[in-house]
Chain A
Amino acid sequence: MRPFAAYDPGDFFDELIEPGGKPRPGAQLLVDKIESLPEGDLALRQKAAEALLLKMGITFNVYGSDEGTEKILPFDIIPRIVSGSDWQQIETGLRQRTFALNEFLQDIYNDQKILKDQVVPEDLIFTSRTYRKECEGFTPPRKIWCHVTGTDLVRDRDGRFYVLEDNLRCPSGVSYVLENRQVLKRTFPQVFEASRVRPVDDYPTKLLEMLEYLAPAHLQSPTIAVLTPGIYNSAYFEHSFLSQQMGVELVEGQDLVVDDGFVHMLTTKGLKRVDVLYRRIDDDFIDPEVFRSDSLLGVRGLIHVYKAGRLALANAPGTGIADDKVIYAYVPAIIRYYTGEDPILPNVPTYICRNDADRAYVLEHLDRLVVKAANESGGYGMLVGPHATAAERAAFAEKIVVEPRNYMAQPTLSLSRVPTLVGDRLEGRHVDLRPYVLFGRDIYVQPGGLTRVALTKGSLVVNSSQGGGSKDTWVL
């Protein structure tokens, strides 16, 4: 049986197959290999890959089960392939966007020129739940706010990439990029080698260099640590993986203490000063003295040390204002304002519910739109109009009317698809792409990124909490 002979790319942009059934140029080797496999072999390779992920312990806990059931993030062995020229555009586009958003953060918390020039409405900023008054007047080390960014891109039927959302707080998933690659190298070694896929493995090194760059210049060997909420966090594997790959300590809030104006780790040999924290705890929980006082995860007094310049944090507190989903609509204007250039990567057209005309349109066309709340993530607080019931739409309409500031809407895109193994045959499934960007001495875009796939037939929601899985991403 030849899986691709029976494959139908359908009326979508398919990442591997051209309309008419011919493989795209970069996918030929992979398709040939898969076609040459004996019957059933592809399913066996899929099983082997899953077993490998389980053995490596790349799992998340499933709650409410006595036996401590653990699951791997669903993984599909058919990779997504991105051509060199497509990547070139993504990479320069993301550099431009990250640079502009960082300028925006520095401006918003200091001079607020962009508000005075009325490019972004002032009330939008001060009504955002992620605006941090505590950061006003502050400039972080090296003037960098968003050190690690994960930008969600989608490709529409027209074949163009669009930015769907920015994640500037604690974007996760990069460990899956690295581990998926390890697994796929073992799954299709010859194809991998012959396709000349660009490596993703130097991400931890780049991350470490970025973190070192944030430490005070006079320190010969700064102490860097990764701050995690602990083993029950669903991204714990990633925290541990990154600290292991960088060779730095992985600390929890309980391992840190503020003493004598510095943050220290509690070690077997006494207190040890920490200079840079890659924190994977949200702003809200990082310091009970400044933010949520009921947080048990954070470190009391940490923000004080940070603002005194005795500790660097990545990402800086306050970056959430730049990934507010309503502010998102203004990012093209933000890019023009700070760079004088047109955006290289377009936004998805967006209706802002606080604008009367937009809101009227949204309320009338809920059955065709995707509506999102400004500050939710993980696929929550979201309405996919065409797939929702009339009752769900009515409930959402009410929320929009009550709190228009908090909502925006976009046309339902026809996300591109990638052939995905279903049983022993291939079917198209919708995907997005989250590349990771590091902002240190310069801006680095990891060549690849996390391709998330909606495993349910026809579904457009790729979040792992909602039945999504992942694929390896090959940049040629």
Chain B
Amino acid sequence: MLSRVANSIYWMCRYIERAENVARFISVNLNLLLDMPSEKGKHWVPLVMITGDQLLFEKSYPDFAQEKVIRFLTFDRDYPNSILTCLAAARENGRSIREIISSEMWEHLNHFYLELADPKSAVLALEEPHRFFKIIQMRSHLFTGLMDCTMSHGEAWNFARIGMMIERADKTSRILDVKYFMLLPEADLVNTPIDNIQWTAVLKSASAFEMFRKQHHHITPRHVADFLIFDAQFPRSIRHCVSKAQVCLQRITGASPGSSQNMAEKLVGRLKADLEYTDIDDVIQHGMHQYMDALQTRLNLVDAAIGSTFFSLKPLSEACAAEQ
């Protein structure tokens, strides 16, 4: 398939996944607030921190009030990672490849964006935020479902899945990083109910609470981190995402497991192996933040390698000329 098309479908899915994750973070925070003693403003800071764009926020907004954070994360067209900006980008990418994706996917994505861009959405988001952010998440799921059921699982689909998996792994690592940093220094809270509520919220941010319970029963920071990083079966765990991305990559290149043909395959393969042969004790010993930081860097390298391997192809004659 065309390199440009592969690039567009990869980014279309990354943007939709990113938008969904932002909606999920906000949703969980809204729920959390209902259970927490009112400490106005404070609970919206970590949300901005997860995105890694705190400086950008502080430039345009005076404080971390709920309304402002929601506006920033959801509707701010000047913020490149707001839900609206992500969906606009996903849609522009989708538009440029609408002959590749199914009409169902395109129509849904188009509708998804148009509804969100409607001024009525901003009103609903502030008046009934619980309902609003649930709708955003469900629309993203619907998109993923449509992609699964109406589009051939060929090369384009595999690029789409890789985009989605890399983005998801990155977001899960960010939740964990920020929450660990926020929660663990307060050692005296480790076994209080509030702490429990906080860690439950972490799991819920990744829609992982129920599945975690089946696996570990008791909520401890160690278990939560273990589950979100290393669980082999949970669809939002980092290990699972990386391993799915690798499968898609192998389908694209036709490589058999264990034989990497290009930089993208090598980097994904190494990352996957590391996730398989590392455990949570290694991570804690290493330092959670350092580990997550390194992991995010490696995901970025994978992204760059996919770009240079598949998307930015040059004809041979030109490439040769450039090397001389």
Contacts and interface: CB of A to CB of B under 8 A. Distances in A.
Interface of A: 54-57, 66-68, 230-231, 236, 240-241, 243-244, 249-252, 254-255, 257, 259-260, 264-268, 270-271
Contacts of A67: 117
B2 interface: yes
B98 A244 contact: yes
B4 A55 contact: no
**Residue in A56, A230, A236, A250 whose Cβ sees the most chain B Cβ within 10 Å:** A250
A357 B252 CA distance: 70
Contacts of A260: 317
A279 to B, nearest CB: 16
Contacts of B96: 230-231, 240
Given A243-B99, A254-B4, A259-B317, A268 B92 contact: no
B58 interface: no
A255 B317 CA distance: 16
A252 B97 CA distance: 11
30 contacts: A55-B107, A55-B110, A55-B111, A56-B110, A57-B95, A66-B77, A67-B117, A231-B92, A231-B95, A231-B96, A236-B95, A240-B96, A240-B98, A240-B99, A241-B99, A243-B99, A249-B2, A254-B4, A255-B2, A255-B3, A259-B316, A265-B2, A266-B313, A267-B1, A267-B2, A268-B2, A268-B159, A268-B252, A268-B310, A268-B313
B133 interface: no
B23 interface: no
A54 B318 CA distance: 43
B24 to A, nearest CB: 26
A154 B252 CA distance: 53
A23 to B, nearest CB: 36
Contacts of B316: 259, 271
B147 to A, nearest CB: 16
Given A57-B107, A259-B315, A268 B3 contact: yes
Contacts of A241: 99
A230 B95 CA distance: 10
B315 A257 contact: yes
A243 B5 CA distance: 13
Nearest to A59: B110
A255 B2 CA distance: 7
A271 B2 contact: no
A252 to B, nearest CB: 7
Interface string B256-289: 0000000000000000000000000000000000
A244 B77 CA distance: 31
A249 B4 CA distance: 11
B195 to A, nearest CB: 44
Contacts of A271: 313, 315-316
B210 to A, nearest CB: 35
B317 A266 contact: no
Contact of A266 (B92, B106, B315): B315
Nearest to B252: A268
A148 B108 CA distance: 33
Contacts of A66: 77
Nearest to A271: B315
B198 to A, nearest CB: 39
**Residue in B99, B111, B159 whose Cβ sees the most chain A Cβ within 10 Å:** B99
Contacts of B6: 268
B99 A270 contact: no
Q: Is the interface of B mostly helix, strand, loop or mixed?
A: helix
Interface of B: 1-6, 77, 88, 92, 95-96, 98-100, 103, 106-107, 110-111, 114, 117, 155, 159, 252, 310-311, 313-318
Contacts of B92: 231
Given A264-B315, A271-B316, 8 more contacts: A57-B110, A66-B77, A67-B117, A230-B96, A244-B98, A259-B317, A268-B6, A268-B311
A432 B103 CA distance: 31
Q: Is the interface of A mostly helix, strand, loop or mixed?
A: mixed
B175 to A, nearest CB: 31
A22 to B, nearest CB: 41
Contacts of B111: 55
B2 A251 contact: yes
Nearest to B6: A268
A268 B315 contact: no
A24 B2 CA distance: 51
B107 A56 contact: yes
Contact of B155 (A57, A252, A268): A268
A231 B92 CA distance: 8
A249 B77 CA distance: 32
A63 B80 CA distance: 21
B83 to A, nearest CB: 15
B99 to A, nearest CB: 3
A442 to B, nearest CB: 27
Nearest to B108: A55
A52 to B, nearest CB: 10
B4 A266 contact: yes
A264 B6 CA distance: 17
B313 A267 contact: yes
A255 B4 contact: yes
A260 B103 CA distance: 37
B110 A270 contact: no
A268 B9 CA distance: 13
Contacts of A68: 88, 117
Contacts of B77: 66
A329 B100 CA distance: 43
**Residue in A67, A231, A241, A254 whose Cβ sees the most chain B Cβ within 10 Å:** A231
B10 to A, nearest CB: 10
Q: Which 8 A-B pairs have the closest CB atoms?
A: A244-B99, A57-B110, A268-B310, A257-B315, A243-B99, A266-B313, A259-B315, A240-B99
A268 B10 CA distance: 12
A244 B2 CA distance: 14
Nearest to A265: B2
Contacts of B5: 249
A250 B157 CA distance: 17
Contacts of A252: 4
A470 to B, nearest CB: 20
Contacts of A56: 103, 107, 110
Nearest to B310: A268
A240 B99 CA distance: 6
B148 to A, nearest CB: 20
B264 to A, nearest CB: 11
Contact of A57 (B98, B252, B313): B98
Contacts of A249: 1-2, 5
**Residue in B5, B103, B310 whose Cβ sees the most chain A Cβ within 10 Å:** B5
Given A57-B95, A240-B98, A266 B2 contact: yes
A266 B6 CA distance: 11
Given A55-B107, A231-B95, A250-B99, A270 B4 contact: no
